[in-house]
Structure 1
Amino acid sequence: MKLQSLNNGYAIRALSPKPNCSAELKLPATVRSCAQEQDLRGQSVAIVGLGKSGRAAARLALARGASVFAFDQNPNLRLLEKDPLFKKQYDGIGGLKTILGEFDEELLNNADRVVVSPGVPLQNYGLSSLLQSGKQVMSELDFAAEILPKSVKILAVTGTNGKSTVVTFAGQMLSHFGIKTFVGGNLGNPLSEAAFQCLQPPSSKPKFKVAVVEVSSYQMEIPSKYFCPSVAVVLNLTPDHLERHGTMRDYALTKCRLFFHMTGAKLGLLCFGNQYLDEAIIEGLNELNLAWIGAIPGVKIDMETKIASFEVPALGVNSQLQLGAMKTMGGHNFHNAAVAALSVVGLNVGVDVEAIGPCIEKLRAPPHRMQIVCKDIHGVTWVDDSKATNVEATYAGLMGLKKQKSVVLLGGLAKVLDGQECNGFERLIEPLKYQRCVITFGSSGMLIKKTLSDNGLSIPCIRAVNLKEAVNWARSMAEHGDSIVLSPGCASFDEFRNFEHRGMFFQDLAFAYHLVTTGLINGDLHLYRYASDSVPQRVLEVHAHSESCRAVRFINNGQAILTGSPDCSILATDVETGATIARLDEAHGSAVNKLINLTESTVASGDDEGCIKVWDTRQQSCCNTFKAHEEYISDMTFAADSMKLLGTSGDGTLSVCNLRRNKVQAQSEFSEEELLSVVIMKNGRKVVCSSHIGNLLLYSWGSFKDCSDRFVDLSPNSVDVLLKLDEDRLITGSETGLISLVGILPNRVIQPIAEHSEYPVEGLAFSHDKKFLGSIAHDQMLKLWDMDELLQGSTKPSKPQAAVEDSDSDDMDMDINPPKSNKGTKRKNASKDRVSGSSNDFFADLQMEG
């Protein structure tokens, strides 16, 4: 049984380009593909645009055996031939040539096929003419889909707003059921990266079962030949990107190309009641299961009861899903979750609506989408909705804020509307009437303010020059219990690189008051708020563990604190309430000695027996386990670009764990020196370790067997802590209590910069902006130092900006991912046993947030 569609009788327009007969291109054999499938051997591929998608397409083309030349109009980009990522993967067959700045028409015309990045309009480089001439011009998306295994089901999501969130939710749901899933496209990793992974040995089985792909209208400008989703979703359509698409009709036609190759049992979801989409879908719809978002057959949501009702007869679906347990902010996310759920069910991978219920409360929206940043000391909640780059996205976010007064920040670079004299902000009058006030900013700030005022805005509206000034106004206007919400309704390019840059800038401004957390040897966890002009104030005290609290980390963008203990448990604690979020009672087989952040959703832990584990904080599950060392893990650091986790140990070795391959990839030779701390320096070329006899051992990246250099006699005593300041300098904390600034290659002590006390320094960490340095030692004191004063050049150790005395202290944390020290079982426990129960209790670790 097929669902009723708008028109089952219309045939699809011919979208495939004609075969081409271009001349062979000869390029220098500088790069060799290591892939097993060489379907493009002997062919040449031109990659136009070297952003993230273009670079991924270039890697894929080389892996498929093609000769590649890559174009970009930016003359300042690095040549792909000099990119380590390409050098590591390939070494000779198949040419690679990068052309920057100038356009070489002959090379482009002679290519067998041309792959266009989404950021490149077809008007550039004569691409439109090439496409019309029959040249094989294709999108990065279609180029990847051509080689993707047919067994991989594709869930494709497009629409003006909400697509990133729906894709993220769908990926989280599939992961909840243990289904191997690639999540990417316009969000995060390009689809070419998924195809590349599938070509890598061993390739007998696909690397994943489902690819959840966010698709932008730019990616669909060139009609696809191979990209054919199993489930396709068009969430909505409102004016956006019209400077490129021209009219709403053309914009809708581009979006609906997502359905044009789908037939049979495949599911299409279309928002109900949009005239442009209704007309576009008629022009090229095959017979498929078409269902509606907001009508039956399809999914409807009762916002009062927070219940989604699904009815899709062709799929045998007739059930309901309770969404009330969702923790993400904004009423529009109930719709996003419901659409994600029906999309996952439509994939026919063994998941039904009822099974999805338990994972609803675990759903987390991607960053900068109504993201709760923090709640400050004045009781004001800061919300980052920087992804709202058009009025409709802002409207959706504001509609979920009716029950809470907010100061709303609107501004940036307003977008073009289709043949309209207004800018669209008059639509916000209704949801804004519930809010505290509006502050406009940026290049369109005056225009937005005038539009709102002319259309009867009933709340105060203030004009600020830029986002920083807007935030200052917001602080003065917000009251206890309010929210400050950045939901700009505009593009970011007047002041920022992109919406992510704008969102991070806003988050930095939100943390005017910072957090520092400490773990104590009696198992307690303390949280302090601090500022440059006041003594830190304790705001939270929790008894976290039955034994010492050895390691602490902020996670979930500072909304939770992760702690580890000799009782073998790992605990996640809510920053605002002190409530337990999750506890793993037997996380390790021995004392948990170290925690570090890896990505937004993964952390690593190390124990006293040399075991390292990697954890998914969303799933609360272990991803990887490495028996890396014979003795305690003293420190770890993470190289995100290569996904390698480095660890040091009391056994005198440095280990390199490959998270992609789930194995210990390298280990240094045994040293008689206990290695206590580790940092990566010199733009990833050097790894520096400190030892218990005061030396620094330097390893060259990739040559970990033995150190390449030693900095001897740095200190007559143990150097317990290393903290990276920049690529050439680090800060050390020694057993004597001295904190020093040290240069690496050339190796030199630049100067002592502070003296914590006569007791050993146990931890160092920066605030997120590096304005403050935090230190802890065996003297019961947490000290905060002003970095500007420390680096002024005085040869005398500085005095702390602020200090707090605490008892029974064992650990501290200040930043999302600072290196910090936790000496291992032999030396560390000896110190603790000596002072436990006495008046000389001490910190052992620290972390700062904000």
Structure 2
Amino acid sequence: MKKIVILGGGESGVGSAILAQAKGFEVFLSDNGALQEKYKIELTSRNIPFEEKGHTEENILSAGEIIKSPGIPDSVPLIQQAKAKGISIISEIEFAGRYTDATKICITGSNGKTTTTSLLYHLLKSAGLNVGLGGNIGKSFARQVAENSYDYYVLELSSFQLDNMYDFKADIAILLNITPDHLDRYDHDFQKYVDAKMRITQNQTPEDAFIYWAEDPVVTKEVAKKQPIARVFTFSEHKADNVSAYADNDQIVINTSKSVFTMEQDLLALTGTHNLYNSLASAIAAKLLDIKDEKIRQSLSDFKGVEHRLEKVATVRGIQFINDSKATNVNSCWYALKSMKTKVVLILGGTDKGNDYQEIEELVKTKVHALVFLGVDNSKLHKFFDGKIGTIVDAGSMEEAVTKAYSLSKEGDSVLLSPCCASFDLFKNYEDRGDQFKYWVRKL
């Protein structure tokens, strides 16, 4: 019996363990940190052996195959040792993909993944399809393959998940954009990150579909190089030659070989240019899956949006507070600032992933009148922004950041938490950061 070792005991790892056990493998799960209580109970109740707060080397290196959590970099010595021994190292997505014949719609991109994935899931579910939501969002793909029998999966895939996928294939692949992110994981080499994102198209056949943003210079260059063999569909803000979906005369237009779909742009639930792209990409996929036009219209107009992504929290004394904690890179913050119609007090900071703040410099100068730096080490932010904005203050906690931002705001302003950075210096994750922001705003 083949032994499968799972490294990492979060949702992805525990889901993989459940599926591996269901498929008759000998399973062992190992995590360098502490496991959440709910996962320990789950593993124990299923008699799946595990360890936490450290790895037993000989146990791990006796594996026939290793399923690695996306959070573990390849540079970790244990992974290097396993590779040297010739042990196959795969991702949870690769593993789960072996055991389902469902249609897989996969979404990646530096920004907009979660919104597009959630919107597309909403479109399919509202149309009555038997569909699961997974990948970088919700319950793990592996757990769902073990416990459910969905006909469709909508999967959000990060570059880390794509890194260890080899035979997996997306029936419909959506690539929203590529901008610098996670460069600390890619030896500060942008091309390595680009290559990871482009893996979304691997193994596709002429029957499959690849949807991407026609105006993204990085993606269009890669597409020209790689010449994907799947059917190609593109989306763009404006009508242009060979663009499948766009906005024109206050309408959105989706062209597929079967038909043309139109809808008034004002009826879209999601506002802002970046959300237009997310809506266009989702609508192309929905059309390819033969969802009826009236269902697409209804879902695009009644979608509720994603928590921690440009989420309106409250208005206090005429000051609007917006939670965009999910903006963990500079390009995300650029989109947030672009959508602002008022003067802004901007909360930035956290764990820098090799950010280049030049991308938002002009928008900060024109829209932001005060900056609050929230982080353990704000030196890089100070070095870039000092002297460019009149008011800059530091905060060491979310309570302090909200209080200072409030005191710096005037009626009619917006306080925007759009940090550009990962959250691990002061918070558990971006959700925790956003939840704390909402808590302190409501305390004002």
**Common fold, TM-score beyond 0.5?**
yes
Q: Distance in 1 between matches of 2:391 and 2:162?
A: 39
**In the TM superposition, what is the alpha-carbon distance from 1:424 to its structure 2 partner?**
2.0
**In the TM superposition, what is the alpha-carbon distance from 1:60 to its structure 2 partner?**
1.0
Partner of 2:438, secondary structure, is helix
> Closer, same or farther in 2 for the Cα pair 1:273/1:140, shift >3 Å?
same
Residues 237-636 of structure 1 mapped to structure 2, 5 A cutoff: 237-246=178-187, 247-281=189-223, 286-294=228-236, 296-302=241-247, 306-312=250-256, 315-328=257-270, 330-346=272-288, 348=289, 350-353=290-293, 355-376=295-316, 378-401=317-340, 403-417=341-355, 423-425=356-358, 427-430=360-363, 432-453=365-386, 456-457=388-389, 460-466=390-396, 467-513=398-444
Structure 2: gaps of 5 or more residues: none
Aligned match of 2:49: 97
Aligned match of 1:639: none
Q: Distance in 1 between matches of 2:36 and 2:329?
A: 33
Asked if 1:49 is matched to 2:8, the reply is yes
Q: Distance in 1 between matches of 2:358 and 2:376?
A: 15
> Which shifted more, 464-473 or 47-56?
464-473
Partner of 1:464, secondary structure, is strand
Letter in 2 for 1:430: L
Listed one character per residue, the Cα deviations across residues 777-802 of structure 1 (whole Å, up to 9, x for unaligned) are xxxxxxxxxxxxxxxxxxxxxxxxxx
Letter in 2 for 1:469: E
**In the TM superposition, what is the alpha-carbon distance from 1:356 to its structure 2 partner?**
1.2
Aligned match of 1:839: none
**Match for 2:164 among 222, 231, 256?**
222
- TM normalised by structure 1 equals 0.49
Q: Distance in 1 between matches of 2:379 and 2:259?
A: 50
Aligned match of 1:77: 35
**In the TM superposition, what is the alpha-carbon distance from 1:267 to its structure 2 partner?**
0.9
Is contact 1:170–1:344 with CA below 8 Å preserved after alignment? yes
**In the TM superposition, what is the alpha-carbon distance from 1:474 to its structure 2 partner?**
1.8
Q: Distance in 2 between matches of 1:261 and 1:285?
A: 13
Q: Distance in 1 between matches of 2:402 and 2:131?
A: 39
Q: Distance in 2 between matches of 1:499 and 1:445?
A: 18
The answer to which structure, 1 or 2, has the higher relative contact order (CA under 8 A, 6+ apart) is 2
Q: Distance in 2 between matches of 1:100 and 1:478?
A: 46
Q: Distance in 2 between matches of 1:367 and 1:119?
A: 22
Structure having the higher Rg? 1
**In the TM superposition, what is the alpha-carbon distance from 1:300 to its structure 2 partner?**
4.6
**In the TM superposition, what is the alpha-carbon distance from 1:317 to its structure 2 partner?**
4.0
Q: Distance in 2 between matches of 1:86 and 1:70?
A: 9
Q: Distance in 2 between matches of 1:248 and 1:490?
A: 17
RMSD over aligned CA atoms reads 2.5
> Closer, same or farther in 2 for the Cα pair 1:125/1:108, shift >3 Å?
farther
Partner of 2:309, secondary structure, is coil
Letter in 1 for 2:320: T
> Closer, same or farther in 2 for the Cα pair 1:103/1:279, shift >3 Å?
farther
**In the TM superposition, what is the alpha-carbon distance from 1:425 to its structure 2 partner?**
4.4
Aligned match of 1:189: 139
**In the TM superposition, what is the alpha-carbon distance from 1:70 to its structure 2 partner?**
1.2
Structure 1: gaps of 5 or more residues: 1-41, 199-205, 418-422, 514-850
Aligned match of 1:233: 174
Is contact 2:372–2:395 with CA below 8 Å preserved after alignment? no
Residues 648-727 of structure 1 mapped to structure 2, 5 A cutoff: none
Letter in 1 for 2:147: Q
Aligned match of 1:692: none
Aligned match of 1:730: none
**Match for 2:58 among 82, 103, 106?**
106
> Closer, same or farther in 2 for the Cα pair 1:134/1:270, shift >3 Å?
farther
Partner of 2:395, secondary structure, is coil
Partner of 2:278, secondary structure, is helix
Listed one character per residue, the Cα deviations across residues 500-555 of structure 1 (whole Å, up to 9, x for unaligned) are 11101100111125xxxxxxxxxxxxxxxxxxxxxxxxxxxxxxxxxxxxxxxxxx
Aligned match of 1:169: 119
Aligned match of 1:15: none
Q: Distance in 2 between matches of 1:472 and 1:101?
A: 37
Aligned match of 1:28: none
Q: When you count helix as a share of all residues, which structure comes out higher?
A: 2
Q: Distance in 2 between matches of 1:444 and 1:429?
A: 24
Listed one character per residue, the Cα deviations across residues 742-764 of structure 1 (whole Å, up to 9, x for unaligned) are xxxxxxxxxxxxxxxxxxxxxxx
Asked if 1:142 is matched to 2:80, the reply is no
Is contact 1:329–1:371 with CA below 8 Å preserved after alignment? no
Q: Distance in 2 between matches of 1:79 and 1:388?
A: 29
Percent identity over paired residues = 25
Q: When you count strand as a share of all residues, which structure comes out higher?
A: 1
**In the TM superposition, what is the alpha-carbon distance from 1:387 to its structure 2 partner?**
0.3
> Which shifted more, 470-479 or 43-52?
470-479
**In the TM superposition, what is the alpha-carbon distance from 1:499 to its structure 2 partner?**
0.7
Q: Distance in 1 between matches of 2:174 and 2:244?
A: 12
- TM normalised by structure 2 equals 0.90
Is contact 1:182–1:210 with CA below 8 Å preserved after alignment? yes
Partner of 2:128, secondary structure, is coil
Q: Distance in 2 between matches of 1:266 and 1:249?
A: 25
**In the TM superposition, what is the alpha-carbon distance from 1:481 to its structure 2 partner?**
3.1
